[in-house]
Amino acid sequence: PAGSPPGPTRPGTKRLPQAIVVGVKKGGTRAVLEFIRVHPDVRALGTEPHFFDRNYDRGLEWYRSLMPRTLDSQITVEKTPSYFVTKEAPRRIFNMSRDTKLIVVVRNPVTRAISDYTQTLSKKPDIPTFEGLSFRNRSLGLVDTSWNAIRIGMYAVHLESWLQYFPLSQIHFVSGEKLITDPAGEMGKVQDFLGIKRVITDKHFYFNKTKGFPCLKKSESSGLPRCLGKSKGRTHVQIDPEVIEQLRDFYRPYNIKFYETVGQDFRWE
Average pLDDT over residues 89-109: 98
What are the boundaries of each domain within the chain?
Answer: 15-110+151-235
Question: Cα separation of 56 and 48, whole Å?
Answer: 13
Strands 213-217 and 205-208: antiparallel
The per-residue pLDDT for range 172-214, each reduced to its tens digit, is: 999 999 999 999 999 999 999 999 999 999 999 988 887 788 9
In this structure, what are the phi and psi dihedrals at residue 203, rounded to the nearest 5 degrees?
Answer: -65, -20
27 marked among binding-site residues: yes
* Assessment of whether the complete model's pTM goes beyond 0.85: yes
How many residues are given for the chain? 269
* DSSP code for 64: H
Average pLDDT over residues 28-44: 96
The residues annotated as belonging to the active site are 26
236 marked among binding-site residues: yes
Return the minimum-mean-pLDDT range out of 43-57, 129-143, 165-179, 216-230. Answer: 216-230
The long-range contacts involving 199-207, CB below 8 angstroms and separated by at least 24 positions, are 199/38, 199/39, 199/40, 199/41, 200/35, 200/36, 200/38, 200/39, 204/35, 204/38
Overall fold of domain 15-110+151-235: Rossmann fold (3.40.50)
28 marked among binding-site residues: yes
115 marked among binding-site residues: yes
47 marked among binding-site residues: no
The per-residue pLDDT for range 148-169, each reduced to its tens digit, is: 999 999 999 999 999 999 999 9
Task: Supply the angle between the helices 89-96 and 155-163 in degrees, to the nearest 10.
Answer: 30
Return the minimum-mean-pLDDT range out of 194-203, 221-230, 260-269. Answer: 221-230
107 marked among binding-site residues: yes
The long-range contacts involving 118-122, CB below 8 angstroms and separated by at least 24 positions, are 118/234, 118/235, 118/236, 118/237, 119/26, 119/231, 119/234, 120/149, 121/237, 122/231, 122/234
